Amino acid sequence: MSTATRPTREAGRGAAERAMARRTPLLAAGLAAALAVLALVSAATGAYPIPPGDVLGSVLHRVGLGGAELDRVGESVLWDVRFPRVVLALLVGASLGCAGALMQGVFGNPLAEPGVIGISSGAAVGAVAAIAFGWTFLGTWTVTVFAFATGLVTVVVVYALSRAGGRTEVVTLILTGIAVNAFAGALIGLFVFLADNAQITQITFWQLGSLSQATWPKVLAVLPCAIAGLLIAPAYARRLDLLALGERPARHLGVDVERLRLALILVVALLTAAAVAVAGVITFVGLVVPHLLRMAAGPGHRFLVPGSALAGALVLLTADLVARTAVQPAELPLGVLTALVGSPFFFWLLMRTRRRQGGWA
Amino acid sequence: MSGVQGTGGTGLRRRLARALAGGGPRLPDAPVPGLTLATAKGLTVRLGRRTVLDGVDLGVAAGEVLALVGPNGAGKSTLLAALAADLPPAEGEVTIEGRPAHAWRAPELALRRAVLPQISTLAFPFTVAEVVRMGRAPWARTPAREEDDAAVAEAMEDAEVVAFHDRPFAALSGGERARVALARVLAQRAPLLLLDEPTAALDLRHQELVLRVCRERAARGPGVVVVLHDLGLAAAWADRAAVLDGGRIAAEGPPDGVLTEELLSAVYQHPVEVLPHPRTGARLVVPRRPGRPAP
């Protein structure tokens, strides 16, 4: 046998695969760097501008590494208004991006996304109920806990309804999403009907999706959900890769599919609840982000899951910065903005898939 | 007495090895030729209300190629799935490495049997090399992960998929996909290979290639169970053939004794001729066809 046809270890890896492997650390570093810069810019920008250098100085001062304190107003704007908002944007964006990547993996379907298939609306039902009935018996966590509970029920229902023979048909998934969104919308409407005027205002603004009410207690209310979800998710990356082969083949390769499914559904519910409880229904982040990353770095979930969290945070931080600076002194609703940008992307995705493979069957 | 001590000793050593390997799964026994890898005893499987398998007894030994043949709906794939521990028996029992199939955990089963499904799908655009490498996943926490690169390279060479190793799976033809799926199964290097119609989508040359690979693997120790529709392939390559008919085993043994005109004609409900090859004398199985009128 000649050396030309003899495969080597190199052939086993594949040139494209090696290029991807080289690209992922670069991409991750790039995303992290962009995130840091943008967080700084976002904290510095607003109706009361603070030079980025002063922002850094104030942060360094607070952690006791030199730097300098700002004046009283500056400190207050930075630490009571801007930073909670930046942190909240990071948490919500990371949760949405990560939840999108996980859902697409567990459904084996690139269109699965908390917003599109109704998980966000489901979580919103619990949150609206908590607001409309003025429930506070779980303290600051009440809205989050209710969002988690109804979000969880919704994921389970959607999963049970849309899967057949170990995979989810796109049409079934989308139709299930329509049904779930309609039902959740009806329930929310019912709660709005029962709420008083002040609560209706609160619900309406919350539903449009906004981070304008960001405070540290709000950050604290979703932090446990978001952090737990984000920390657990990457542990399932390898098994999600295998799940791409289908349920039975994944089981043949040693994956306990039932347990994987249960764990991931819980994680998705955690992440979605965290995002929805503070920011309302923000669609398309979980759809767009994993798609873009898959195009850039391949479908391997070991990068895709944490990468989607990073990129999701970046997208939402950018969106929030635009939302609060584009039409100053007014503020665009964040959910409206992401939908404005996300929907055309969804269209493009549809066109591209139809051109390439005749559409999703 | 010594036997009891012996088992205790290996058990302890095994547990120790497991602990040293970082709590990984229990490793399979090396397939010594003749060792029974999996058995079905009085196996009855029901899907819904239909009894698909009805009291099947069958064993697979290390080092042999066992062909499952029979008409559509006879229960070949169901038997394979039951041996793979995918389907629970309604009655009877399936054992793998001497232990009831359902008693194994998924990660332990993955070290003992590899399964090629009839149809292979892939949800995301992984490349061929990535798909084949997925076959190594069960060994990730064992010392055998050292063999990963070698196993992947060998499997890709055996299944002839090296030429398109960096193309996405979705961009391949049906036959190419089938070979990639086979390469993934080969890379798993399990002692028991369960292949459901591996030749269905393949051209003549690659059909021969797949069965030759089965033989080569069996010669090294593993046992191979392969569902085939082409009786000629079964006659030429299998050590044993089991003919299924209506959920029961109609006959089982070396192909020469089993693949007879009477039995096959009855089972397939179509007259079948079995003739010796004019040069080699090997068995050829062909359906009896009416002569074509002269043009």
Domain boundaries, chain B: 119-189
Condensed to tens digits (0 to 9), the pLDDT of residues B3-61 reads 333 344 455 665 555 555 555 677 888 778 888 999 999 999 998 889 999 999 999 99
Whether residue B294 lies within 8 A of chain A, CB to CB, comes out as: no
Looking at the partner chain, which of A238, A248, A299 has a beta carbon nearest the beta carbon of B117?
A248
Tell me how far apart the alpha carbons of residues A144 and A131 are, in angstroms, rounded to a whole number.
Answer: 11
0.90 surpassed by complex ipTM: no
Between CA A240 and CA A103 the distance in angstroms is: 10
Please give the pLDDT value at position B4: 39
Asked if B127 and A241 come within 8 Å (Cβ–Cβ), the reply is: no
Q: How far is CA A86 from the centre of its chain?
A: 15
Number of CB pairs, chain A paired with chain B, less than 8 A apart: 116
> Number of H helices and number of E strands within chain A?
16, 2
Of A8, A108, A253, the CB nearest to B137: A253
CA geometry: angle A179, A177, A294, nearest 5 deg: 175
Tell me if B106 and A254 make a contact (CB, 8 A cut-off). Answer: yes
Cα separation of A142 and A343, whole Å? Answer: 32
CB within 8 Å of chain A, chain B residues 68-107: 84, 86, 105-107
Checking if the pLDDT of B180 tops 90, the result is yes
CB A254 to CB B188 under 8 A? no
Kindly tell me the burial class for residue B101, based on how many C-beta atoms sit within 10 Å of its own C-beta (0-12, 13-18, 19 or more).
buried
Q: Where are the alpha helices (DSSP H) in A138-256?
A: 142-162, 170-194, 197-208, 216-232, 237-243, 247-252
Query: Which residue in the block uniquely carries the two structure tokens 């192909």?
Result: B255
Taking the Cβ of residue B142 and every Cβ of chain A, the question of whether any pair is shorter than 8 Å is answered with no
Which range among B20-34, B112-126, B281-295 shows the weakest confidence by mean pLDDT? B20-34
What does the pLDDT read at residue B114? 97
Residues of B in contact with A298 (CB under 8 A): 125-127, 130
Tell me how far apart the alpha carbons of residues A57 and A44 are, in angstroms, rounded to a whole number.
Answer: 12
B153 and A9 within 8 Å at the Cβ level: the answer is yes
- Give the gap in angstroms from C-alpha B30 to the nearest C-alpha of chain A: 19
For residue A326 the two structure tokens come to 């584009």
Residue B252 pLDDT greater than 90, yes or no: yes
Cross-chain CB nearest to A299 (options B111, B124, B156): B124
pLDDT of residue B13: 62
CB contact under 8 A, B123 and A110: yes
Q: Please list the ranges in chain A whose pLDDT falls under 70.
A: 1-21, 164-170, 356-361
Nearest to A12 among B122, B149, B170 (CB): B149
* Contact at CB, A17 and B110, closer than 8 angstroms: no
User: Which tokens belong to A256?
Assistant: 């306990």
What is the C-alpha separation between A358 and B3, in angstroms, rounded? Answer: 65
Number of CB atoms found within 10 A of residue A66's CB: 8
| Predicted local confidence at residue B184, as pLDDT | 97
A238–chain B nearest CA distance, Å: 8
Q: Which among B104, B115, B124 is the top mutation candidate for probing chain A, defined by the most A β-carbons within 10 Å of its own β-carbon?
A: B124
Residue of B nearest to A168 (CA): B123
Chain B residues with CB inside 8 Å of A255's CB? Answer: 106, 137
* Nearest-neighbour CA in chain B from A234: distance (Å): 16
Check if the beta carbon of residue A12 is closer than 8 Å to that of residue B152: yes
Distance, in Å, from the CA atom of B23 to the CA atom of B27, rounded to the nearest integer, reads 11
In this complex, which of A7, A17, A110 lies closest to B162 when CB atoms are compared? A7
CB contact under 8 A, A9 and B121: no
Domains of chain A: 94-326+333-357 (1.10.3470.10)
Q: Choose the mutation target among A102, A106, A170, A253 for the interface with B, i.e. most B CBs under 10 Å.
A: A253
Residue B164 reports pLDDT greater than 80 = yes
Q: What is the pLDDT of residue A1?
A: 39
Between the CA of residue A181 and those of A92, A119, A167, what are the distances in Å?
21, 8, 21
Taking CB atoms and an 8 Å cutoff, what residues of chain B touch A294? 124-125
Contact A12 B135 (CB under 8 A): no
Rounded to a whole number of angstroms, the distance from the CA of A184 to the nearest CA of chain B is 29
Hey, is the C-beta of B279 within 8 angstroms of any chain A C-beta?
no
User: Strand B223-227 and strand B192-196: pairing?
Assistant: parallel
The model carries a pTM of: 0.85
Quote the CA–CA distance of A285 and A44 in Å, as a whole number. 24
Distance from CA of B233 to the nearest CA of A (A): 26
Residue A90 contacts residue A315 (beta carbons within 8 Å): no
Please indicate whether, in this complex, the C-beta atoms of A11 and B150 are within 8 angstroms of each other: no
Burial zone of B60 (CB within 10 Å; 0-12 exposed, 13-18 middle, 19+ buried): buried
H or E segment to which residue A105 belongs: helix A83-107
pLDDT for position A18 = 61
E strand intervals along chain A: 163-164, 167-168
Residues in A whose CB is inside 8 Å of some CB of B read 5-9, 11-17, 105, 108-110, 167, 238, 241-246, 248-249, 251-257, 294, 298-300, 357
| Contacts with B121 from chain A: Cβ below 8 Å | 167, 245-246
pLDDT at A176: 84
Q: Would you state the pLDDT for residue B28?
A: 85
List chain B residues with CB under 8 Å of A241: 126, 130, 134, 137
Q: What is the pLDDT of residues B127-154, one digit of tens each?
A: 999 999 999 999 998 888 899 999 999 9
pLDDT at B129: 94
Q: How far apart are the first and last CA of chain A?
A: 44
Contacts of A101 in chain B (CB under 8 A): none
Inter-chain touch B106–A251, beta carbons under 8 Å = yes
Closest Cα in chain A to B157: A7
Task: Count the alpha carbons within 13 Å of B272 in the hemisphere toward its beta carbon.
Answer: 22
Q: Which of A14, A238, A253 sits opposite B127 (nearest CB)?
A: A14
Report how far residue A54's alpha carbon sits from residue A73's, in angstroms, rounded to the nearest whole number: 13
Q: Which residues of B touch A238 (CB under 8 A)?
A: 137, 140
Measured between CA atoms, the residue of chain B closest to residue A290 is B124
Residues of B in contact with A7 (CB under 8 A): 153, 156-157, 162, 165
Strand (E) or helix (H) holding B156: helix B148-158
Mean per-residue pLDDT, B217-242 = 94
B48–A contact, CB cutoff 8 A: no
